[in-house]
Homo-oligomer: A and B are copies of this chain.
Amino acid sequence: MLTPNPRIVFAKRVPADSLPIPGEHLIHDPTPTIDLDAVPLRGGYLTKTLMIAPEPFLRERMRERHVDSYSMHFVLGAPVVGFALVVVLRSEKEGINVGDHLYGMTHWEAYTVQPYIEGRADLKSGNYPDWTIDLEAGGMSAVPDPKGAYPWSLYLGILGGPGLTAYCGLEAYGDAKAGETIYVSSGAGTVGSVVIQLAKHRGLRVIASAGSDAKVEYMRSLGADVAFNYKTHPVSKTLKEHGPLDIYWDNVGGESVEAAIENARTRARFIMCGTLSEYNTPPDECYGVKNTGKIFKKLLQIRGLFVGDLIPTYAGKFYAEMPQLMAQGKMVWKEVVSEGLESAPEALRALLQSGGGDDLGKPIIVVAKE
């Protein structure tokens, strides 16, 4: 018996100056079908997608063919590959059992035979340089049943990629000492909001920025000592007033980097986690940071963050601490839930729009109930 197996297809590469447009670059295709009982598993397993999470890093994989990156491109005509929470329906694989919940990278579609083959970026045939990171190599990992202590969806957020990014990045590169000052840009965002709270748990003084007054209120509620709207309060002026900084957590790039360098203490640490202000800006139009000379003069330490590098070392500590904090209600976490796979392209587009909307929280797309 055939069951509908809708998917989000990566249909067209996204130019540097554009957001991915639903219906053009990302197309919801409702026509595929699958025979859930008879589809061959090839020694793997069949999963049903419960939830997916749009993430800024997906933008990178949608770039044009000639643009270099640390990651592979998505394969045209194949489904988007992103973080998802799935449940196992059938399995031929040792250690993977029916009913297991798994988190990791998979197709944006209703059902998938794992490990998936279609749309798998081929590092070798794609003429990628040898340092390209295989973002899909991590596969899917089982996550424990929270048994009501917190919702399953947290595995897509504070207990998944974004939470790991915040936690591992701060642990590995922050060298945070109680009493120091951290500045977090896009502090109401998925990663930023966790950084703010972890920083407070570590005894830091927190300055945080976002693009709306509602977000400023939210950041204040998370514990930020100084929260400001960068659209009404220039970053450089605000940092000058409330700095200097020992740590800068950068989610936005561009002008904020310049302001943070200007207001950094000697030996400050910069954790570069995103370039939200320039995801859709052509290279020539990106902000020119004029004070890179102060990287030397201030003896700054600047690290581009890829959480995959840090998970082997820090995930154990993360899983020991974060689920506890969540279950005890010591961390605030918000979600913006959309229903239906077809809402994913628009959720991603909105996420990538500089400044975003006034929505607070991690976008989660509920694809199916269990």
Contact = CB atoms under 8 A, between A and B. Distances in A.
A267 interface: yes
A266 B306 CA distance: 11
Nearest to A274: B296
Among A250, A274, A275, A292, max chain B CB count under 10 A is at A292
B309 A305 contact: no
Contact of A296 (B132, B273, B286, B299): B273
A296 B275 contact: yes
Contacts of A300: 272, 302-304
A64 B304 CA distance: 33
B272 A70 contact: no
A263 B287 CA distance: 19
Nearest to A279: B293
A272 B133 CA distance: 26
A287 B287 contact: no
Contacts of A287: 288, 290, 292
A305 B299 CA distance: 6
A253 interface: yes
How extensive is the interface on chain A, given as a class?
35 or more
A125 to B, nearest CB: 19
A297 B131 contact: no
Interface string A264-304: 01110000111100100001101111111101111111111
A304 B298 contact: yes
B275 A284 contact: no
Given A288-B290, A292-B254, A296-B273, A70 B266 contact: yes
Nearest to A130: B265
A60 interface: yes
Interface in A292-329: 292-293, 295-306, 309
A264 B303 CA distance: 14
A107 B330 CA distance: 57
A291 B69 CA distance: 13
Contact of A267 (B131, B244, B299): B131
Contact of A254 (B70, B283, B293, B309): B293
Given A299-B305, A304-B297, A292 B69 contact: no
Interface in A42-65: 60
Contact of A272 (B296, B305, B306): B296
A159 interface: no
B303 A301 contact: yes
A139 interface: no
A257 interface: yes
Contacts of A284: 290
Given A131-B267, A278-B293, A291-B283, A309 B302 contact: no
Interface string A58-86: 00100000000110000000000000000
A40 interface: no
22 contacts: A60-B297, A69-B297, A70-B298, A129-B244, A133-B266, A254-B293, A272-B300, A278-B293, A283-B290, A286-B292, A287-B288, A288-B289, A289-B289, A289-B290, A295-B302, A296-B305, A299-B304, A299-B309, A300-B304, A301-B304, A302-B302, A302-B303
9 tightest Cβ-Cβ pairs between the two chains A and B: A288-B288, A275-B293, A299-B304, A302-B302, A272-B296, A131-B266, A253-B293, A286-B290, A70-B266
